[in-house]
Amino acid sequence: MSRERDKSGPSTRAVHGGERTTRSRVSDSLTTPIVQTAAFWFRDTQEVIAYQEGRHASFEYGRYGNPTTRVVEAKLCELEGGADCVVSASGMNSVTTMLLALVPQNGHVVTTHDCYRRTRQFMQTVMPKMGVRCTVIDPSDLHALERAVADGANLFFSESPTNPYLRCVDVSAVAERCRAKGTVVVIDSTLATPVNQQALALGADVVLHSVTKYLAGHNDVLAGALVGKESFIRPIRELHGVLGGVIDPHAAYLVLRGMKTLSLRVARANENAAAIARFLEQHDKIERVHYPGLPSHPDHAVARRQMGGGFGGMVSFEVRGGLETASKLIDALRVPYIAPSMGGVESLVEQPTVISYWDKSPEERAQIGIRDNLVRYSCGVEDTDDLIRDLEQALERL
């Protein structure tokens, strides 16, 4: 990798990163081929030995690596500025493998209260079986973090922005406090993407992505990734080979195809979300808007410092009223699909109470901060004016 390419912008890296330097040249194919195989063959025993000793570059078995997948990993390294990357079959597989690899038995994990439900579920119900404690803090409470780190925390994990309230962790401040005590810092940048935020440059040790979302970008593939320092990715890759959460080569190809337009899609999603947030904040039928690009957001100053590319494509907001009012608004929308997930070219909308927390009582939802009037709107790449007009007509029906 030359110095000139190192200085290239995110769009150039999204298109070309890893493609020319990592993949094998097959029939002068412009796109990276799908290497659809479960195993790789060797010419003789000496070649096997050379492979085992690191003298012959190849692959052995699909669970330990694949040429198509390796290009995805190389591209993500360039986008995030990381030394190594491991891609897996889903974002949750990446989360669980990372936690199992980096947190010791009887260890201590720190996370934030606004967190993807399944991540919190794993930390609070599965990891305690291995004696692991979980401390939950406010994303901006650095004093609570200092106390947890002093109490021997092994790993700090948070999304930034978080889901669904889009809280932004001050990554540099967190990294400074954790580094002094040897606490590993892992930041889930799924909502930010490498276009909007460079968490490794801010001090994180590992960055996690649900590749399913903005990186793949077309709502047609499941994948996850971890990027960071080689010393942290190595044990994750080793455990990944044991647990077997392997991405299919065809899915890896779809991720490569999607990432080529990452910067373009994220720029449009940023634009759409910012416009929707401003519109909703002025509307008398909206109680509150959660978007880090708004000065009213509690972490706006942090977001301005560390989200150089934009504030993301997701907006959460609370409708004046309750569960039924929010449902009525969602049902009146004509452009977005009612669906979970985010980051695809289609806009999606959901009511977290209904789609993610319907099995919880109102008291349980209130305890974890999920309000029944909360709506999560994940912007796609449609025309901004169309999205605003659609929201206007839906709000008129309330």
Domains of the chain (ranges; CATH) run 3-259 (3.40.640.10), 263-396 (3.90.1150.10)
Task: Grade residue 23 by pLDDT with cuts at 50, 70 and 90.
Answer: low
Return phi, psi of residue 206, to 5°: -140, 140
Distance CA(48)–CA(54), nearest Å, equals 10
Average pLDDT over all residues of the chain? 94
Task: Grade residue 27 by pLDDT with cuts at 50, 70 and 90.
Answer: low
Answer yes or no: is pLDDT of 1 > 50: no
Average the pLDDT over 218-223 and give the result.
97
**Span 282-340, pLDDT tens digits:** 999 999 999 999 999 999 999 999 999 899 999 999 999 999 999 999 999 999 999 99
**Whether 24 contacts 59, CB under 8 Å:** no
Average the pLDDT over 129-138 and give the result.
96
Answer yes or no: is pLDDT of 38 > 80: yes
Average the pLDDT over 373-387 and give the result.
97
pLDDT of residue 6: 62
**Span 86-112, pLDDT tens digits:** 999 999 999 999 999 999 999 999 999
Share of the chain above pLDDT 70, in %: 97
* Antiparallel, parallel or unpaired: β 184-188 and 155-159: parallel
pLDDT of residue 26: 64
**Span 200-209, pLDDT tens digits:** 999 999 999 9
pLDDT of residue 22: 72
Element (H, E) at 241: helix 230-243
**Whether 107 contacts 290, CB under 8 Å:** no
Share of the chain above pLDDT 90, in %: 86
* Antiparallel, parallel or unpaired: β 133-137 and 108-112: parallel
pLDDT of residue 2: 35
Q: Please state the separation of Cα 160 from the chain's center in Å.
A: 9
Distance CA(116)–CA(213), nearest Å, equals 14
Average the pLDDT over 259-271 and give the result.
97
**Span 134-190, pLDDT tens digits:** 999 999 999 999 999 999 999 999 999 999 999 999 999 999 999 999 999 999 999
Within a 10 A sphere around the Cβ of 9, how many other Cβ atoms?
9
Task: Grade residue 257 by pLDDT with cuts at 50, 70 and 90.
Answer: very high
Strand order in the sheet with 108-112: 84-88, 224-228, 206-209, 184-188, 155-159, 108-112, 133-137
Return phi, psi of residue 66, to 5°: -150, 140
Nearby residues of 326 by Cβ (< 8 Å), 6 or more positions away: 319, 351, 353, 372, 373, 374, 375
For the chain, strand residue ranges (E) read 84-88, 108-112, 133-137, 155-159, 184-188, 206-209, 224-228, 286-290, 314-319, 337-338, 348-350, 374-378
**DSSP-assigned letter for residue 124:** I
* Antiparallel, parallel or unpaired: β 314-319 and 133-137: unpaired
Write down the pTM of the prediction. 0.93
Distance CA(86)–CA(73), nearest Å, equals 6
Average the pLDDT over 44-72 and give the result.
94
Task: Grade residue 366 by pLDDT with cuts at 50, 70 and 90.
Answer: confident
- What is the set of active-site residues? 63, 116, 188, 213
Answer yes or no: is pLDDT of 84 > 90: yes
Average the pLDDT over 48-71 and give the result.
94
Residue located via tokens 């995030």: 80
Residue located via tokens 């579920």: 121
Distance CA(52)–CA(158), nearest Å, equals 37
Answer yes or no: is pLDDT of 356 > 90: no
Within a 10 A sphere around the Cβ of 176, how many other Cβ atoms?
13
Answer yes or no: is pLDDT of 4 > 70: no
Of 357 and 343, more confident: 343
